[in-house]
Amino acid sequence: GENVEQHPSTLSVQEGDSAVIKCTYSDSASNYFPWYKQELGKGPQLIIDIRSNVGEKKDQRIAVTLNKTAKHFSLHITETQPEDSAVYFCAADSGYALNFGKGTSLLVTP
Amino acid sequence: SAVISQKPSRDICQRGTSLTIQCQVDSQVTMMFWYRQQPGQSLTLIATANQGSEATYESGFVIDKFPISRPNLTFSTLTVSNMSPEDSSIYLCSVDGGGNTEAFFGQGTRLTVV
């Protein structure tokens, strides 16, 4: 089955700096790659996604890049703010459900 | 989009008992998914529930331990049976728009077994 690896597991940055989280996947048939943000006590919420026909997608301070050949995709958050502090999960579709990475706990310090 | 209401939001249960978690969606959906998120861990798919058929369980999960109902296109339940402390987790239900579109999650049920 699909295996999604995510790094780093924890990340601490100063407010205003950039944060990058990287994921790799194993199933070459995967073609949908969402990123979720999970705040304490809440369910995961989609923040950005990318499909295999696109190499990069940007939404304000958040961008995602995809390299299908290498089977890796990354989340980039620029100008980080304290409210960006949360756990972030990458995922790849398995055809009928999503397989999630282990998560990155991001801490943005003022 | 879909709004998912999940109940209860949290519970503390005695070992050996069972808990049923309810998931209500504000629109009709074909597939509903149940995930488990152990403390500090990622989301692991338990099973996929389609209306009108038996749920499909992932490796490591069995119907006797996690029976699922799907009586209509907007509702599902997951029961955690004969609980032990190892079942302490967050349980999440999810739906998607189909065709590799956004997945929506309930707020989760935080279960503690003592």
- On chain B, the residues whose CB falls within 8 A of the CB of A103 are 41-42
Tell me the average pLDDT across A82-99: 91
* pLDDT band of B96, cuts 50, 70, 90: confident
Cβ atoms of residues B17 and B83 within 8 Å: yes
B98 pLDDT higher than 80: no
Q: Output b/e per residue, A27-62; b: 16+ Cβ within 10 A.
A: beebbbbbbbbbeeeebbebbbbbebeeeeeeeeeb
**Beta strands B109-113; B10-13: pairing state:** parallel
CA A70 to chain centre: 16
Of B73 and A94, more confident: B73
SS3 A82: helix
The amino acid at residue A76 is H
Alpha-carbon distance B61 to nearest alpha carbon in chain A (angstroms) = 16
Contact at CB, B45 and A96, closer than 8 angstroms: no
d(CA A13, CA B47): 37
- B1 reaches A (C-beta below 8 A): no
Shortest distance, CA A44 to any CA of chain B (angstroms): 6
Whether residues A49 and B102 touch (CB distance < 8 A) is answered with: yes
Q: Is the pLDDT of residue B17 over 60?
A: yes
**Mind listing the pLDDT tens digit for each residue in B27-83?**
999 889 999 999 888 899 999 998 888 899 999 999 999 999 999 999 999 999 999
